[in-house]
């Protein structure tokens, strides 16, 4: 029987949807979950296990799963022997220390002697050790943000994305401990055959991720503006230029990075571009 890769995904929660979407964008038919714990793709040699995120690093290091998608925060907290293969650009958040708004806080030394509630005792204790801070760590498994309000701890160390949970619990963020996003992790002893499948999967993931950070752009311009516009549009090589039916006018096609997008659009308009169209790119072969 041919080897297949077994990939552990979060069963439900914040990373589930983005993980499934990434796999689908890679052209892999992942069956709808429907409460199943395991399913196989019909067009690529992978199968999926749906698990609590906390269990994924352990299963990957034990070899029950070959790969997994988890938050880097979970991978770091569990401290299992695994390979971090590729950061995936979703699930961004930070693990931060927060204190009640009314508490005076000027430097990290103000954490000395405090009790800090967290679900991330390992990451937090490493951080405190590095900073030479002596504080008590109270490990709790959920609803960390209410700990100071009910007198369980002086401070918390929890995940933050928008910051609204901290705000609504009367807390202020004072130290960033760890920055996180979803990461593809892998078992350290994959067979050669599994490594080959992983290589193919990674190639697809990188192509999808690259495409997501670029847009395809089409515009019309007088042919006198070609040079000016070409200088603004970096493209993959150089822009494609096609004549329009109207004499003296051309259409230019290129690829621009999402980050620089609005600045480029403004510059293009100033250089004489009209009828600008911007399209998503599905795959960009890396």
Is residue 163 part of the contact set for ligand PRT (CB under 6 A)? yes
Is residue 52 part of the contact set for ligand PRT (CB under 6 A)? yes
Is residue 206 part of the contact set for ligand PRT (CB under 6 A)? no
**Nearest CB to ligand PRT, comparing residues 58 and 163:** 163
Alpha carbon distance 115, 29 (integer Å): 48
Q: Tell me, by CB under 5 A, how many residues bind Zn ion.
A: 2
**Interactions with Zn ion, residue window 175-234 (CB under 5 A):** none
Is residue 152 part of the contact set for ligand PRT (CB under 6 A)? no
Map residues 60-89 to x or -, x wherever contact with ligand PRT holds by CB under 6 A. Answer: -----------x-xx---------------
Is residue 116 part of the contact set for ligand PRT (CB under 6 A)? no
**Nearest CB to ligand PRT, comparing residues 144 and 221:** 144
**Nearest CB to ligand PRT, comparing residues 80 and 253:** 80
Is residue 118 part of the contact set for ligand PRT (CB under 6 A)? no
**Interactions with Zn ion, residue window 49-108 (CB under 5 A):** 53-54
The interface region with ligand PRT, picked from 13-21, 41-49, 97-105, 255-263 by CB under 6 A, is 13-21
Task: Name the binder of 8 from Zn ion, ligand PRT, none, CB < 5-8 A by kind.
Answer: none
Is residue 54 part of the contact set for ligand PRT (CB under 6 A)? yes
Edge-to-edge, what's the strand order for the sheet holding 249-257? 240-243, 249-257, 214-222, 274-280
Return residues touching ligand PRT (CB under 6 A).
10, 13-15, 52-54, 71, 73-74, 91, 93, 158-165, 180
Return residues touching Zn ion (CB under 5 A).
53-54
């Amino acid at each position: 029987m041919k080897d297949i890769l077994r990939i552990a995904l979060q069963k439900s929660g914040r990373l589930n949807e983005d993980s499934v979407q990434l796999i689908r964008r890679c052209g892999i038919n992942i069956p709808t979950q429907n409460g199943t714990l395991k399913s196989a793709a019909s067009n690529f040699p992978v199968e999926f296990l749906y698990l609590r995120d906390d269990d994924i690093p352990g299963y990957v290091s034990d070899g029950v799963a070959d790969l997994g998608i988890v938050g880097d925060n979970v991978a770091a907290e569990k401290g299992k022997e695994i390979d971090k293969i590729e950061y995936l650009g979703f699930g961004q958040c930070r693990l931060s220390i927060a204190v009640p708004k009314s508490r005076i806080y000027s430097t990290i030394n103000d954490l000395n002697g405090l009790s800090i509630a967290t679900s991330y005792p390992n990451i937090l204790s490493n951080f405190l050790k590095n900073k030479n801070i002596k504080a008590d760590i109270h490990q709790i498994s959920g609803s960390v943000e209410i700990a100071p309000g009910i007198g369980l701890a002086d401070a918390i160390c929890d995940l933050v994305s928008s910051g609204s949970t901290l705000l609504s619990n009367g807390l202020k963020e004072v130290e960033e401990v760890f920055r996180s996003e979803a990461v593809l992790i892998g078992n350290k002893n994959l067979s050669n055959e599994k490594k080959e499948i992983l290589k193919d999967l990674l190639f697809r993931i990188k192509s999808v991720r690259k495409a997501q950070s670029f847009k395809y752009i089409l515009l019309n311009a007088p042919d006198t503006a070609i040079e000016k516009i070409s200088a603004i549009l970096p493209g993959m090589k150089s822009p494609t230029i096609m004549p329009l039916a109207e004499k003296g006018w051309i259409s230019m096609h290129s690829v621009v990075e999402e980050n620089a997008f609005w600045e480029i659009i403004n510059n293009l308009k100033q250089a004489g571009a009209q009828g600008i169209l911007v399209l998503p790119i599905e795959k960009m072969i890396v």
